[in-house]
Amino acid sequence: SMWVKNAGVENKDLWCCGAAELRFSVFSNKKFGLIPDGDPNSAQSLYADGTALDPSAWYRIYIGRRSDNSFRMVINGHLASNKVNNGKLLSGDMTIGSFSKGTSYFFSGYIADFYIVDGQELDENTFGRYNSKGVWVPVDPKKDGDTAWFGPEGRHLTFADSSDVGKDYSGNDNHHTVTGFELADTSSP
C-alpha cells in the first residue's frame, strides 16, 4: 500500500521487485498498471483504466496478493481489477521510484507512506477509509515495530526523515539506500 502523486510524466515505474519480475507503473494512457511478469503487454498484467488522470491528486494504491496467488488492486477505495493471474513470490532487489537498481529511469512525482506486509492477506481498509465527504483518506494501522505483523520482508517507509529517507519503521531493518534525488534545501531565503 502506498500514496502516490504523479507529476504528469508517464511510462515510469513506481515500484519494482525481483529484477523487474513485478512492476507497478504509471503508463502513457494515464492509468496505473501492475505487471507481474515484467511485460506490460502480457495477458497477466492488471490495469486500472482512467485512474491516474489528475496530476494534482493523491492516490492510495493497494495491491494485495491473495492466497490463490492472484493480485487485487484497489485505487482510492475502488476495486481497479480483480483479474486472476499467476502472481508469484519474488526475491531479489526491490526498488522504489525506478525500474531497477542503478537505472536513470526514475518516477517523477511523490510516493509516501509505503507499506509491504509479508505473509498475511490484508485488505485495503487496513490502510484507508472514506471520510464523511466520501474522500479516501489514510488509516494508520499503528503497527510500526511489530515485526510479527509485518513479516520478515515487511517494511514501512514514510520518507519523512531527510537524514535517512529510506528508513524502515517496521522494526525489520529493511532500510533502502537512497539515490537519484536532491535532499538539500534549495529554497531562496
113-160: pLDDT as tens digits = 999 898 888 889 999 999 999 988 999 999 999 999 999 989 999 988
Calculate the average pLDDT of the chain.
Answer: 77
pLDDT of 31 reads 72
Q: Which candidate, 96, 86, 93, places its Cα nearest to that of 39?
A: 86
Vertex 33 angle, CA 62 and 74, to 5°? 25
**Mean pLDDT across 57-82:** 80
pLDDT of 170 reads 94
pLDDT of 148 reads 95
Cβ contact 135:77 at 8 Å: no
16-53: pLDDT as tens digits = 776 556 667 766 556 777 776 666 666 667 777 666 66
CA–CA separation, 116 and 189 (whole Å): 39
72-113: pLDDT as tens digits = 888 888 887 666 555 554 556 777 777 655 555 677 778 889
Q: How far is CA 134 from each of CA 128, 129, 137, rounded to the nearest angstrom?
A: 12, 9, 9
pLDDT of 126 reads 94
Cβ contact 129:154 at 8 Å: no
